[in-house]
Amino acid sequence: MRIGMYGGSFNPPHNGHLYLAEEVGRLAKLDKIIIIPSNISPQKSNNGNIDPVHRINMCKEVFHSPLFEVSDCEISRGGRSYTVNTLTYLREQYTDDELYLFMGSDMLLSFHTWYRYEDILKMCTLCAISRDDDESADKLRNYADTVLSTGRVLIFDIEPIEVSSSEIRENLKSGKSCKGLISEKTEKYIKENKLYGQ
């Protein structure tokens, strides 16, 4: 099988996350995509993250089609969520399958700074999303060839939905509408559990 790995804080998961996951899944011809909410991301501050149980529950609401599986492996492991550790765990579960790691163009261009990035490249193929003109597909391919010296990078030119989790949190806190940004089920869950200042 061809299995995608889509990690992030998902705080909260939104329509942009779902759209990108579905598009990469289609373009990379993936059989399955594992959604992995992080415990503490090495790239981000953990400030503002709500209880991991809520992020897991919301991900299950958003990524509910048979293509997706939501995993709590990083949250259960605790500590900082290093990708190499998660991939090692998944490689033990899926010994004969091909693994594909999702990331944005900004993350790819700093990939050489990641903890044990060479080991990550041995275990999976990177799926990078070219998001704007400054980080064009050609720039990403050149980085993969010259800095990473690997052919294990797929570049997808996908026009993202302009939405961010921080924008949604701000809208919720100030009472603005989140229509079109998150699903109705997610908004209902947030209000019922009094998350993000509700």
Summarised one tens digit per residue, pLDDT across range 117-131 is 999 999 999 999 886
Reply yes or no on whether the pLDDT at 19 is more than 90.
yes
- pTM of the predicted protein model: 0.91
Q: What is the percent of the chain where pLDDT is above 90?
A: 73
Q: What CA–CA distance (Å, rounded) separates 12 from 1?
A: 29
* Amino acid, single-letter form, for residue 87: L
Q: What CA–CA distance (Å, rounded) separates 152 from 154?
A: 7
Mean pLDDT over 135-145 rounds to 85
Summarised one tens digit per residue, pLDDT across range 74-98 is 999 988 889 999 999 999 999 999 9
Give residues with Cβ within 8 angstroms of 82, minimum separation 6.
42, 115, 116
Residue 42 backbone phi and psi in degrees, to 5: -65, -25
Q: What sign for the dihedral angle of Cα 18, 22, 23, 24?
A: positive
Summarised one tens digit per residue, pLDDT across range 98-109 is 999 999 888 999
Q: Which CATH class is domain 2-162?
A: alpha beta
Q: What pLDDT does 132 receive?
A: 60
Summarised one tens digit per residue, pLDDT across range 43-76 is 555 545 688 999 999 999 999 999 999 999 999 9
Chain-wide mean pLDDT for the chain?
90
Delimit the domains of the chain by residue range.
2-162
